[in-house]
Structure 1
Amino acid sequence: MRFDDTLKTVLAADTATPFGAQATWRQLVDLVGRGPRSVDPQALIRLGELRARVPEAVRLASARALEHARPPRALMMVFLDDSFAVSAPLLRTARLDADDWIALLPSLRPGQRAILRHRRDLPGDVVRALDSFGPIDFVLGDSSPQPALAAAAPDDPQAMRGMRLPDGFLALGEAAFGSPPLDAATGPFRIADVVARIDAHRGAEGGRIERRSRRRVRGDIALFRFETDATGLLRWIDGADRAPLIGLSIARPSALAQTDGGVIGAFRQRAAFRDARLEIGGVSPVAGSWRISGVPVFDPRTGRFTGYRGNARRPRAEEGIPRPAIAADSLRQLVHELRTPANAIAGFAEMIDTQLLGPVPEVYRGYAAEIRRNIGDLLGAIDDLDLAARIEGSALSLSPGRVAVRALVEHVVGDLGPLSALRGAHLLIGPGEVLADADARTLERLLARMIATVLSAATRDEEIAITLEGGGEHAGTVRVDLPAALRGRSLDALCAIEDEVQDGSLLGTGFAFRLVANLARELGGSFAVEPDGLTLTLPVADSDAMDRATPESR
């Protein structure tokens, strides 16, 4: 039997510095989130102490690192008590037992329960429990001034009318006094009338829940038709249950619906598409893989683009093999188990290098600095593996927005200054700008990996030019020159290189190029290799002129 003191080691770490506090937070979240179901109370206490000192961006990153995991209920409570942005990733993807979800529901805020209502993979008991919160979550608050409860005379029923409890919910007394008055012919007010109305409401609500439950257990659907609005959201469904589909987008990938780059590219050009891939998450009858075809629709009077009409069918046996989600989950589990000790080593090496606990001989400080550099490379490789696993398991979360690509390129080139000096090569950024419609964090990671891999193959005094071109209203390009060592090879040849790039990627040149190509596809763009350069094509932000296009102009 082996004794594991990893948690005690992390709890004993110094958190006086901002870096120490952030590193301890990340390590504790990894250990508790991927560890046994029983949670050490000391770990939860330490997380509560550190939360105010850890930036929200770091807390959000640690929450996103647990996406699609099975965190303990106690750790979920730590994130649910945090801001809405920090708790949202876990609410969208965490996999808990039904009993755990039901126990958490009363402590959730209405907005947090709203996220759960959009999930299609929750157990039936959890869905029914969520439905029971409907009258509370959907009530409209009254912002008008209300008299204080203590100010009213307890024996004055008129003064009690219209009162609301401090939390905004309707008091039982108001429900009774707010009932329609009865005239003299009808008789005095009776409590039985209110009870009858409550029973009728519960009966109707129970019938609706039962009908929704029956719809969820229907057989598999093989074909359905759809229509979207101008933004790509599904607004009409025929041939399948509407609940899991209405509101999903074919133009913007999400945790519940993933489309391939062909659909996204066709949507931006207002062009037809055929037999494109669509993956729908959850456990509803429409969950799984689909092949969709659609044609653009334009208003005959104004020529404005109004959306798509099309159909979806289940893929045939010869149209591909299901994605190995189980293998991807196992890889992500391994990645998290590697990241925790690597972060701990980096933290202790920094304490030695900075002499945080006292004077350290120069030779040992040099060793600690070398450890920090090596651990940085290792953490970069671990992050690349995690990113590849997310792509493979259709678990990559994207938040598209308007991104100035030149600023990202300049930031990446600045970070690669030490590598450029080591190789003796020069990175030159030409004029031009691209305003892309993409997830900024993912795009920055793509650019960093692409440029670093190219730079690591360069020789002394080689110049690598980076050119940005807007490319019109639908796409922009980022072109990076290839060094002499990589010129003349195809994309397949570059992806087949198996090596360990010094100061580039520990996983090798081939893995880096495969990762870049997959990330480009996930962002709705493409990655191409020319004899002397690499070209990354990105979708640009929509323009008003695009919406006014007519079928003839296409």
Structure 2
Amino acid sequence: MRFDDVLETVLSSTHETPQAAAAAWRQLVDLVGRGRVPADGAVMERLHELRARVPVTTRSASARALAGARPPLALVDLLACDEASVGSPLLRHVELSLANWEALLPRLTPTARAVLRHRRDLPGEVVRALETFGSVDFVLPGLPAPADVKAPYRLAAPIDPLPTTTPPEPPSFKSVGSVARAIPLVVEALRRGNDNDVPAPLPDGTFRIADVVARIEAFQRDGASPAPEAPAVPAREQFRFEADATGVIRWVEGVARGAVIGLSLATPAQPGGTGVDGGAAGAFRRRTAFADARLSLAGGLARGIWLLSATPVFDTATGRFTGYRGHGRRPNPHEQAGGAAALRADSLRQLVHELRTPTNAIAGFAEMIEHQLLGPVADAYRLQAVAIRADAGRLLAAIEDLDAAARSEAGALELSPEPLDPATLLRRALAEVEQLRAVRDCSVDLVAGEGRVFADRRTLERLLTRLLGTLIGAGEAGEVIPVTIRPANAAVELVFGRPRALAAYAGDALLQIDEENSPASLLGTGFTLRLVRNLAQALGGTLVIEAARLVLLLPAAAGRIADQAASG
């Protein structure tokens, strides 16, 4: 029997320091957003209390971390009614019932409702409800809103925007003089004009155009007051971009277009100049994905250092490379110095080395006890030694996965690509996970087509073993997992069916699964799938997550051998 006291621990902790308040905010948002604790009064009261003490960057990051989750209405209301940088990431994907949308929409700001108007997956009732706020959200500043916008609405019934029972309003004609009086230049001229013998307005409140000209001339003659400073434009933190087959960025969203459009991913920038570093240029030459490549921009609001991540795009009909799609972000504080990612990876690899040595020693001593190499041992102790050796083996496998993840992040994987038969490697991987398959009582249906891949043998074997182990570990009794190998232009597709237990996770939410005690890996399903994706990218391929299957795209051996022959 297990008792989850995480909520009590968080609520009972002191949050006097800013760091403690930020940590408590992240923990509570994650617990409530993923349904681990109910959104009751004590939790939401604590969140409302912490919001004013937590920086907006932390609140925005916690909202983005809820991608793929189904947070309750109370938490959605708290985040959506916050600043635009906090509520917008959540409103772009959150799913609510019609009743909850009806309760939430009136509480949102016009900016938040504008985010919802760009969604194409909302129910028709919600779209019609958003249209009823047009008279509020689209009204020009300084003009009064219509009196009927406060009337309640219902999502279930369409709203007639032009009621026939309402009598027509009188025409809202305004004279040129009355309109001109609202111009700031004329207002100041009127204030100063009375001291310069300028003709006064007519008795009905209007005045002639000549009078307007006279007052403006008087205002310009006496001098104008300094214009108020324009409000500072908030700096952008991320943007999206697309590049063509030559590596030139042709489209960007989220940052000033003039600063990024026209930059090339194919040519590294000169020291101190504008452009990308050698990592992005090297990935472009290999037509592979890259992550956290440095982009330097000079001038404008977008000046400074950005970190770019992108994946290559290929034409599905011809297999021809068409460019890149990706995003850029500002580096985190610990990433400001150059080489921070490599430093983190080196630290993790050092930790892996320190873990591997004692684990190997434990496994070795357990094996000596099991085989009675040090003398006779009672059967009970031998069984304990067998269990210890098995646990040490699982721990060693997790350590090796951490080492592979660190090496892939730092780009330090030692690869020796060669032509390989994926069907043969899949059969070897199935033999390694046979014991797990027998325990889960599910089967794998392998349909091997033609096609050889060009990849590193050791890395590909690890990738296939971990991927098959994860899918089989999630399989149910009697379930059949289909695996198909087929050529796809310049690549080879390995198509894996998704078990029913993973069907509830859409898109990249599959990579965020953090369950404990996974049958396949101590590190969990999400970590293993992220490792598989990173290893696939290191091999020059990619892992595509579809609704009912996982597609592993690897470079075909024939195409790579031809490229090498042409370049040689």
TM-score (norm 1): 0.43
When Rg is computed on C-alpha atoms for both structures, the one with the higher figure is: 2
TM-score (norm 2): 0.42
Ranked by relative contact order (alpha carbons within 8 Å, sequence separation 6 or more), the top structure is 1
